[in-house]
């Protein structure tokens, strides 16, 4: 495993996105716990969760509790593991998502997450999505108050524009350590935010990083991933899975990129963790440059 900086700590260059362990089509708890343990065994020290990662109504806390339980059951040292959670979104249980980034809600949510995770302070607390009904500065200001109160150690923002990153950075300064936006071989709309995060020294955590290679946990039953892209062909040249190759490509996109692929099986996260072993040459990167690129 290789490592990268996230604020004032060092974490694995590949993280574990824990969402698939709690939402639709989730595995049973034994398999979910085994998946977290496999990630830890592979050297992964960043686990991404959220208070809204659950399936049914009334189980809002499912993923955070699962992650905490898996860490407690692990036989080795977990003191170096950074659990990053998020607040500001909800799932009523019918498959839809809601947004509530009012300061009052974020403060309550962060304290509840801290208790569920069983920590003195949340290692990384991320605003899950801007709320169109709340001034951005007010939501970010709530993160500042959580820092000052000691409820969280560092903060991040997710699903944001470049202007929102700049405004949050002006308010939070060095306490802002990460940006989490969707970015993958097939979805590269966040390229400006990736570049801005790198210039500001912020970790960029691509969510759904295997889009175009594997179906996301957010995808419906239709629309299978492509099977014949430049990523598949370069992966074949290296003798690795296209998923592992895609993660290696993401690591080459910026020195602050830390992909967080989801996994629901130990084998999947073990394969993803080995993406740090792949070195890509200039010609290979050129072949991978354009979405749905050819040979």
pLDDT (tens digit per residue) in 186-220: 999 999 999 999 999 999 999 999 998 986 666 55
For the four alpha carbons of 23, 29, 243 and 222, in that order, the dihedral sign comes to negative
pLDDT (tens digit per residue) in 140-154: 999 999 999 999 999
DSSP category for residue 128: -
Sorting pLDDT into bands at 50, 70 and 90, what band is 60?
confident
Sorting pLDDT into bands at 50, 70 and 90, what band is 294?
very low
Residue 227 in this model has a pLDDT that exceeds 80: no
- pLDDT for 198: 98
Instruction: Give the residue numbers annotated as catalytic, written as ranges.
Output: 53
Give the C-alpha distances (Å, rounded to integers) separating 81 from 11, 13, 47, 181, 245. 8, 13, 8, 22, 25
Output the pTM of the full model. Answer: 0.94
Q: Quick one: what percent of the chain has pLDDT higher than 90?
A: 89
CB atoms within 10 A of CB 293: 15
CB atoms within 10 A of CB 130: 21
Residue 84 in this model has a pLDDT that exceeds 90: yes
- pLDDT for 223: 46
pLDDT (tens digit per residue) in 85-125: 999 999 988 889 999 999 999 999 999 999 999 999 999 99
Please state which of the ranges 56-60, 179-183, 242-246 shows the lowest mean pLDDT. Answer: 56-60
Sorting pLDDT into bands at 50, 70 and 90, what band is 12?
very high
Sorting pLDDT into bands at 50, 70 and 90, what band is 222?
very low
Average pLDDT across the chain, whole number = 94
Give the C-alpha distances (Å, rounded to integers) separating 108 from 19, 56, 74. 21, 21, 29
- pLDDT for 214: 83
């Amino acid at each position: 495993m290789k490592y990268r900086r996230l604020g004032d700590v060092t974490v694995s260059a590949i993280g574990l996105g824990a969402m698939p362990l709690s939402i639709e089509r989730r595995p049973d708890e034994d398999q979910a716990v085994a998946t977290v343990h496999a990630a830890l065994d592979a050297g992964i020290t960043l686990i991404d969760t959220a208070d809204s990662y659950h399936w049914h109504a009334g189980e809002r806390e499912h993923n955070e509790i699962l992650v905490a339980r898996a860490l407690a059951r692990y036989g080795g040292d977990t003191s170096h593991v950074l659990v990053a959670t998020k607040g500001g979104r909800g799932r009523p249980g019918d498959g839809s998502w809601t947004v509530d980034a009012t300061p009052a809600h974020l403060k309550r949510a962060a304290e509840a997450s801290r208790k569920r995770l069983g920590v003195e302070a949340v290692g990384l607390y991320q605003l899950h999505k801007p709320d169109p009904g709340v001034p951005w500065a007010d939501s970010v200001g709530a993160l500042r108050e959580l820092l000052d109160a000691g409820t969280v150690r560092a903060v991040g923002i997710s699903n944001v524009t470049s202007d929102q990153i700049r405004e949050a950075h002006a308010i939070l300064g060095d306490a802002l350590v990460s940006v989490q936006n969707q970015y993958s071989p097939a979805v590269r709309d966040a390229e400006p935010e990736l570049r801005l995060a790198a210039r500001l020294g912020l970790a960029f955590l691509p969510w759904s990083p295997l889009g175009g290679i594997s179906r996301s946990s957010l995808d419906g039953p239709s629309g299978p991933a492509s099977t014949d892209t430049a990523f598949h062909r370069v992966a074949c040249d290296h003798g690795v899975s296209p998923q592992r190759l895609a993660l290696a490509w993401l690591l080459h996109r910026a020195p602050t990129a830390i992909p967080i692929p989801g996994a629901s099986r130990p084998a999947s996260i073990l394969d993803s963790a080995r993406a740090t072993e792949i070195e890509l040459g200039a010609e290979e990167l050129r072949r991978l440059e354009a979405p749905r690129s050819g040979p």
